Amino acid sequence: MASIKDIAKIAGVSISTVSYALNGSNKVTEETRQRIKKIADDLKYVPNMAARTLKRQRTNIIGVYVTDYRGSFYGELLDGIKRGLGYYDYDMIVCSGSRSHLFIPEKMIDGAIILDSTFSTEEITQFADEDYNLVVLDRELDYSSVPQVLLDNKGGATLAINQLVELGSRKVFLITGPNGSYDNRQRLEASVKELERFNMSYDVINGNFTEASGHQAAEFIFSKSPQVPVDIFAFNDEMAIGIYRYLKDKPYVIGRDVRIVGFDNIEIGEFLEPKLTTISYSKHRWGIIAAEKMIRLVSNEQAEDELIYTSLVERE
Amino acid sequence: MASIKDIAKIAGVSISTVSYALNGSNKVTEETRQRIKKIADDLKYVPNMAARTLKRQRTNIIGVYVTDYRGSFYGELLDGIKRGLGYYDYDMIVCSGSRSHLFIPEKMIDGAIILDSTFSTEEITQFADEDYNLVVLDRELDYSSVPQVLLDNKGGATLAINQLVELGSRKVFLITGPNGSYDNRQRLEASVKELERFNMSYDVINGNFTEASGHQAAEFIFSKSPQVPVDIFAFNDEMAIGIYRYLKDKPYVIGRDVRIVGFDNIEIGEFLEPKLTTISYSKHRWGIIAAEKMIRLVSNEQAEDELIYTSLVERE
DNA sequence: TTGTAAGCGTTATCAC
DNA sequence: GTGATAACGCTTACAA
């Protein structure tokens, strides 16, 4: 509410003196600084963001865009980003929905970290052409100015297939995500490649990363009374959970008659019975690295693409 | 990048004409409006947020403050708030961490919806005194200008106890949240009151709403080889999950030897074996109502407190 | 119907 | 060391 004008009036100095005093310039005596700071505190002065931004042409805020707020997937990632940005005195806000895409050209934020399928790649490249600072976590882009921090989906899928191979699998059901998803395409490509290397047969069943689609896929598989053991690589854990749910009142025993590998290592997996074997990676680290890339961008430094490696979590 | 100045220059008009044309004022001919709009589009003009805010003195953005980003708890709530605000042309950003509290006095946001224990109640009342628009979801406050949208914790706790009573319970273990939590205190108070009404005995075991503390509580209870059935009211689902995990390799059978009621109805509950009985409420509706209160505030209308009612979800 | 100009709250450049 | 003052990009009352 109070502005530097008010402070200046009370202190009997000009507004520029107030500004200098408050911003720690050495152009003002220690004594006046103290006096002015005291008045500012008494008035509970806080600089107006809009005015400061208008002048400075930056906000020190980074926007993180997510597809939606649901799911236990984002929490750790956001924590990581926030931590990474905090080291460098940047604030973070989390946004979702296409209206908030406007924050970018409006210059409300100094940069955007994107894990949000409501951004079209075209939209992103347009922003990139206009020199906004962007980091993408959910797609490949042929834009050297937009660093990508991507999951090593191929490595993860290869690990998953190998695990099934080691268990003696002869045939694998692949339950995929939606076609539009970059992660899905990568996982599929690597899985097929690895399966063919071992000369194994496989069936591709289209899912869409939701628990419901996993349930459906299981229905499809088991309604044909397949030969046990049935081996399944679900391209994410949520779909694997759908399979668990389908099998709950069926005679098939998970771990013996059905072997499932998931992807993402979401929290629930550990509470399933039996615990879900899955492909894991550090979401926290993913966030920290994304933040680092963004910091480099706003500092006008070059930022390289980076891969987040995966590992197999073998459970029951 | 392009400003109305650029547009004015190209169109050969003054900046005010551009502003009028773009803001749909009827002070300019349809013809010039079209011409100017065309140029603006070509230049990909987007108004600068800081400048507009500085002039208008509002941002049309509401900040939602959460304690942290983890847990599957917030997703639906945020969805609800976003939906509720969207109806009225307000944007929403999600914030966490004490640094971002500054957004409020900086006037970066027109109001704050708070579900964030890092706000002290003193801080909130100070902001309220300075006439910022606040809605709280996580505490009681004697401030008529700050509407509260609270869970009916007492109703929920009463339901939980009644459920155990109906199952024939004689004694109940209450596993609480942290002392500082308003929700926890309410649940405890109502539970005790209800238990005493039925003349039942009970033990209070201090937890802190984390899964780990639920696990510990279970360890404490079962290490004393208690008389079965053991009846437990865990003040949230996460702690109930901790109990499940503890009991996994123990001889006690949940549903027969141990009966547990949780609180919150988080998603995981349905995948536990057996499914978790819990106290439920619509997080989505909670969010929508919180948004409505905020809209009333920014419209300078009176907003009443409101309670979000709970129900028992009886599972296995 | 269009243009001029003041003002929003800061920061920063220049005189003094 | 301090004070005027221009500038950031926009909206809007008023003048033309």
Mapping DSSP to helix (H, G, I), strand (E, B) and coil, where does residue B164 land?
helix
Banded model confidence at residue A299, pLDDT cuts 50, 70, 90: very high
Please state whether beta strands A134-136 and B277-280 pair in parallel, antiparallel, or not at all (unpaired). Answer: unpaired
Q: Using one digit for the tens of pLDDT, what is the confidence trace for B148-187?
A: 999 999 999 999 999 999 999 999 999 999 988 899 999 9
pLDDT value at position A215? Answer: 94
Q: Residues B228-238: what's their mean pLDDT?
A: 94
As given in the structure block, the two tokens for residue A167 are 């268990």
What's the CA gap between B22 and B32, in Å, rounded?
10
pLDDT value at position A72? Answer: 66
What's the CA gap between B103 and B127, in Å, rounded?
12
Mapping DSSP to helix (H, G, I), strand (E, B) and coil, where does residue B62 land?
strand
Tell me the pLDDT of chain A averaged across its residues. 93
- Of A56, A143, A68, nearest to A100 by C-alpha is A68
D7 nearest neighbour residue (CA to C1'): A55
Helices (H), A43-104: 49-56, 74-86
Beta-carbon count within 10 A of A178 CB? 16
Q: Residues A139-152: what's their mean pLDDT?
A: 95
Cα–Cα distances (Å) from B91 to A300, B58, B68, B110, B292, in that order, read: 30, 12, 20, 10, 13
Q: Residues B192-209: what's their mean pLDDT?
A: 95
With contact defined as beta carbons under 8 Å apart, do A89 and A60 qualify?
yes
Banded model confidence at residue B286, pLDDT cuts 50, 70, 90: very high
Q: Residues A219-233: what's their mean pLDDT?
A: 92
Q: For chain A, what percent of residues have pLDDT higher than 90?
A: 83
Distance from the B312 Cα atom to the nearest Cα atom in chain A, whole angstroms: 23
User: Do the chains contact at B69 and A94, CB–CB below 8 Å?
Assistant: yes
Q: Residues B284-297: what's their mean pLDDT?
A: 97
With contact defined as beta carbons under 8 Å apart, do A136 and A156 qualify?
no
User: Do the chains contact at B50 and A74, CB–CB below 8 Å?
Assistant: no
Q: Using one digit for the tens of pLDDT, what is the confidence trace for A62-102?
A: 999 999 888 667 889 999 999 999 999 999 999 999 999 99
Q: Exposed, middle or buried: residue A210 (CB in 10 Å: 0-12, 13-18, 19+)?
A: middle
pLDDT value at position B72? Answer: 67
Q: For chain B, what percent of residues have pLDDT higher than 90?
A: 84
Distance from the A238 Cα atom to the nearest Cα atom in chain B, whole angstroms: 11
As given in the structure block, the two tokens for residue B69 are 């980003």
Higher pLDDT residue, A1 or B64? Answer: B64
Judged by a CB distance cut-off of 8 A, whether residue A49 touches chain B is yes
Banded model confidence at residue A126, pLDDT cuts 50, 70, 90: very high
CA of B19: nearest nucleotide by C1' is D11
Banded model confidence at residue A163, pLDDT cuts 50, 70, 90: very high
Banded model confidence at residue A274, pLDDT cuts 50, 70, 90: confident
With contact defined as beta carbons under 8 Å apart, do B285 and B155 qualify?
no
Region of poorest pLDDT, from A238-247, B128-137, B184-193: A238-247
With contact defined as beta carbons under 8 Å apart, do B232 and B175 qualify?
yes
Residues in chain A: 316
